[in-house]
Structure 1
Amino acid sequence: MDTTLVIFNQLLQMYIIMMFGFVLVRFNYLNMEGSQQLAQVVTKFIIPIVIVMSFQKDYDSSQLYLLFKTFIGTLAIILSRIALAHTLLRNRSKIDRYAAVFSNNGFMGIPIVLELLGYEGIFYLSVYIVTSTVFQYTYGKWMLSEGREVITLLSILSNPASLGAFIGLGLYLSRISLPTILYNSLDTIGSLSSPLGMILLGGYLARSKVKDIFLRKANYWTVAVRLIISPIIGIFLLWVLPITHPSVLLILAITNATPTAVNTAIFSQLYGGDYEYGARLIVLASLLSIVTIPLMISLSSAFFL
């Protein structure tokens, strides 16, 4: 099946699950406290487990070189987004800039890559997730708090995604395979990442006023930077970089196209900002990405083939 069609079908399934989350919140089966607890579970436990599981494979030294190339592509994408956000959104709020820089690879990137490439794909995707998380816990916190949050080495090394990568890489380099029963159990837990993430997004939609999401023109410029302008610049950067491995290119193309990170709302609430505005940007970008993600993947394929 064509990759773009697979991605489109996967997105449709995810949005159906999102509407389930919408119903749960609208009919008071899931309140704000419950949503925050789910977000904590996914962020602190399930995503790190998925990253650890991606390293459960036979050791191959050539894959370490591909991980390094993935890291170079990741840095190029993230740094270009920061430059674009501070150029195209310099007169907008710090939340707009955060929303344009950071994408939702935990809740949306992981299920799409798992569907297309399995844990082999997550092995390379983990580089993007960890690098992006480090930027969120450093640059992102600093930007949203307007310099009040201090960036420390501990904040870089101890965030959940980094810990998952350290554990997974340690097992990989040590050639340690998990017992079958433990592997199967963790694999089942990891599969919860996508449905729980989309239920959370459905909750954001249910708590937002529809007119504030869709009828405010200012929202669309920030979302356009995240879903269209940044991905196009990212495609060009990937094209000029010395990356030729098809799976790595596909994974970076997917991460390049995913919508605004859920942490846009969570971090805004924690470090100072309009949490509800951040949630509206997340919902709008997530809904429109059902069109833009397949388009950007198709454009990427035209460049890379």
Structure 2
Amino acid sequence: MELAGMTMYKTLVMTILALVGVFCYHKKIVDQEMNKKLSELVLSLFTPVLLFTSFQKDFSKELVTGLMISVLLSAIAFFLIWCICKWVVRKLDKDYAVVELVALMYSNCGFIGIPMAQGIFGAEGVFYMTAYVAMANFLLWSHGVIVMSGKSDIKSLKKVFTSPTIISIILGIICFVAQIRVPQIIEEPMEMIANMNTPMAMMVAGINIAQADLKQVFCHYRLYWLSFVKLIVMPFALVGVFYFIPVSQLVKTIVILATACPAGVTGSLFALRYEKDSVYAAEIFAMTTIISIVTVPFSMLFC
């Protein structure tokens, strides 16, 4: 109950930040082009710095074990998610079907999951979240691209290993294992930059929601079914499976939290790039993001 209450509090705080983004978009303080730049700033600077700084801690076998468990549980989570997706989405010859598959499989663990982990569990939560984020990025730029494009794209695989997120995680792990600590004069500004991740990420999410036609979104009944699967079925399936795995409760909670996040905005970007139904992708993002305000704290009740 305490975890659920804390999650609800953090969710409301982040909702207010998202509403600031909605306000800024409607008041024309920011537009679509500026939002793309802000999104790139979060993905290329704020989040990577946050991930790297989460590894700036004293080496311990407990943390290494927890990270390895996080990798294993993340793999189990994505396999289970894939199985559920195969049950829900069956006609991949349709543009809308591939959009649904990518939206259901890949949550907004970067923009929402990381800030939530940071707000609720601090640096240790972000530390364990890195395993899920790394696996999500790898699968998104490999499986996700193949599904959306209908063919293998080698260039996308290269992006996996050259993305700022993956590079920051690799460097962070190296520094953690070798116990390389950045000087205080560098660490302090890095922590300041890392602290900007949550407000900026949520404002970008709010701007994205503001661009959707919410009247049309709430009249699209299949979106309610997809939201139910994404936000209730998937995390609770993990709760059931993880119940029988005797490992750290914190690590299990982090993976469930990442899975309980709404659909990622990357699905909309991929739909635009590969000429799929980008409007539908944006609608799934908006609907799941709004409903997750209630469902994420609810899922934490059972962790």
What's the counterpart of residue 288 of structure 1? 291
CA contact under 8 A between 2:10 and 2:120: conserved in structure 1? no
Instruction: Using the TM superposition, give the Cα deviation of residue 65 of structure 1 relative to its aligned residue in structure 2, in angstroms.
Output: 2.0
Q: Note the aligned Cα RMSD (angstroms).
A: 1.6
Does structure 2 conserve the Cα–Cα contact (< 8 Å) formed by 1:81 and 1:101?
yes
- Corresponding residue for residue 14 of structure 1: 14
Equivalences for 1:77-116 in 2 at 5 Å? 77-91=77-91, 93-116=97-120
Q: For the residues of structure 2 that align with 1:269 and 1:193, how far apart are their CA atoms?
A: 25
Find the counterpart in structure 2 of residue 160 from structure 1. 164
Distance 2:275 2:185 in 1: 44
Residue identity in the other structure for 1:122: V
- Residue 235 of structure 2 is aligned to residue 231 of structure 1: yes
Change (3 A) 1:173 1:148: closer
The equivalent of 1:192 in structure 2 is: 196
Deviation, 1:153, is 5.1
Number of the residue aligned with 1:279: 282
| Secondary structure at 2:174 match in 1 | helix
Judge conservation of contact 1:268–1:278 (CA < 8 Å) in 2.
yes
Gaps of 5+ in 1: none
Checking the alignment, whether the CA contact within 8 Å between 2:21 and 2:202 is kept in structure 1 is: yes
Contact 2:11 2:297 in 1 (8 A): no
Distance 1:150 1:204, change over 3 A: same
Q: Measure how far apart 1:279 and its partner are.
A: 1.5
Offset at 1:224?
A: 1.3
How many Å apart are 1:160 and its aligned residue? 2.2
- Do the aligned partners of 2:7 and 2:297 also contact (CA within 8 Å) in 1? yes
Assess if the C-alpha contact under 8 Å between 2:14 and 2:202 holds in 1: yes
1:136 partnered with 2:136: no
Q: Which runs of 5+ in 2 are unaligned?
A: none
- Which residue matches 1:250? 253
The aligned counterpart of 2:271 is 268
CA distance in structure 2 between the partners assigned to 1:119 and 1:111 by the alignment: 10
Identity value in percent? 22
Matched with 2:220 is: 216
Query: What is the rounded CA distance, in whole Å, between the counterparts of 1:100 and 1:201 in structure 2?
Result: 17
Q: TM-score, normalised by structure 2?
A: 0.94
Secondary structure of 1:240's partner? coil
With 153-162 and 163-172 compared, the bigger mean Cα shift is at 153-162
Indicate yes or no: 2:154 matched with 1:118. no
Q: How does 1:34-45 map to 2 (within 5 A)?
A: 34-45=34-45
1:145 and 1:271 in contact (8 A); partners too? yes
SS class of match (1:93)? helix
The match for 1:174 is 178
Residue 74 of structure 1 corresponds to 74
Verify the 8 A CA contact 1:99 1:222 in the aligned structure 2.
no
For residues 261 and 5 of structure 1, the distance between their equivalents in structure 2, rounded to whole angstroms, comes to 24
Q: What whole-Å deviation, never above 9, does each CA across 1:78-123 have from its counterpart, x for those lacking one? A: 1111121122121351111111111111111112211222111111
Moved more, 84-93 or 283-292: 84-93
Maintained 8 Å contact 2:141/2:156 = no
Deviations 1:47-87 (CA, angstroms, capped at 9, x unpaired)? 11111011000011332222111111001111111121122
Residue identity matched to 2:192: T
Q: Quick one: distance in 2 between partners of 1:41 and 1:140?
A: 23
Write the letter of the residue equivalent to 1:204.
N
Distance 1:264 1:52 in 2: 25
Q: CA deviation at 1:149?
A: 2.6
Deviation at 1:276, TM superposition (A): 2.2
Distance between the aligned counterparts of 2:234 and 2:2, measured in 1? 24
